[in-house]
Amino acid sequence: MASQPDNSAPERPTYPFVYAHTFRRLYAAVVDIGLLLIIIVTVRWVTGGNAFTGSNTAPQDIFILLGYLILFTGIKGQTPGKMVAGIIVVDDEGHVPGVAVAIPREMVGRLIASATLGLGLAWISLDPKRQGWHDKIAGTYVVMKSTPVRPKRPGLNGYSPGDSRGKRPAKQRPWRFRRKD
């Protein structure tokens, strides 16, 4: 009798806590600012100069900035700048935080960290865990992205792909293709 397949959701990967250096985070921020400027210039060029000009543009500017930061950080744990820098945002368990944690991190935390003349961002270089105020508010950490530690889930007959210990037995060749010894 065949066993029932496990239909539970796959477990989230866990990243080790090797805190990202201040200069890596700065490098990621510069790349992100450059990409945001490219997006803004492209949208303005496509719309014939009507976008991002005038008195009612602040809401769309903020929407693009926060959408960029919240969606990338919440879903992937990385903005494109963090992807280039090789760093990722994780929660206190080493998992990607999710959108519910990314919203206070990017909206409230960054506003407070930036509004204090950048003291909340400069705090990254002083903190032993390399957390800025926006990280402390949301309970997140920025760590070096390495191969995540995934929980082992055996497949058929205890074999799991990529497992070098329990090698799958080689298939028997059909009789006409067998080697003669």
Residue 73 in any domain: the answer is yes
The predicted structure's pLDDT at residue 33: 94
Residue 153 in any domain: the answer is no
Residue 15 in any domain: the answer is no
Rounded to whole angstroms, the Cα distance separating 79 from 146 reads 16
Number of structural domains found in the chain:
1
Residue 82 in any domain: the answer is yes
The 10 Å Cβ neighbour count of residue 132 is 27
Range of the domain at 58: 22-144
Rounded to whole angstroms, the Cα distance separating 160 from 152 reads 8
Residue 175 in any domain: the answer is no
pTM value > 0.75: no
Residue 166 in any domain: the answer is no
Residue with tokens 């997140």: 140
Rounded to whole angstroms, the Cα distance separating 105 from 43 reads 27
- pLDDT tens sequence for the chain (181 residues): 455 555 555 677 888 899 999 999 999 999 999 998 998 888 888 877 777 777 767 777 778 888 899 999 999 999 999 999 999 999 999 999 999 999 999 989 989 998 999 999 999 999 999 999 999 999 999 999 987 666 666 555 555 555 555 555 556 555 555 566 5
SS (H, E, C) the chain: CCCCCCCCCCCCCECCCCECCHHHHHHHHHHHHHHHHHHHHHHHHHCCCCCCCCCCCHHHHHHHHHHHHHHHHHHCCCCHHHHHHCEEEECCCCCCCCHHHHHHHHHHHHHHHHHCCCHHHHHHHHCCCCCCHHHHHHCCEEEECCCCECCCCCCHHHCCCCCCCCCCCCCCCCHHHCCCC
Residue 33 in any domain: the answer is yes
Residue 158 in any domain: the answer is no
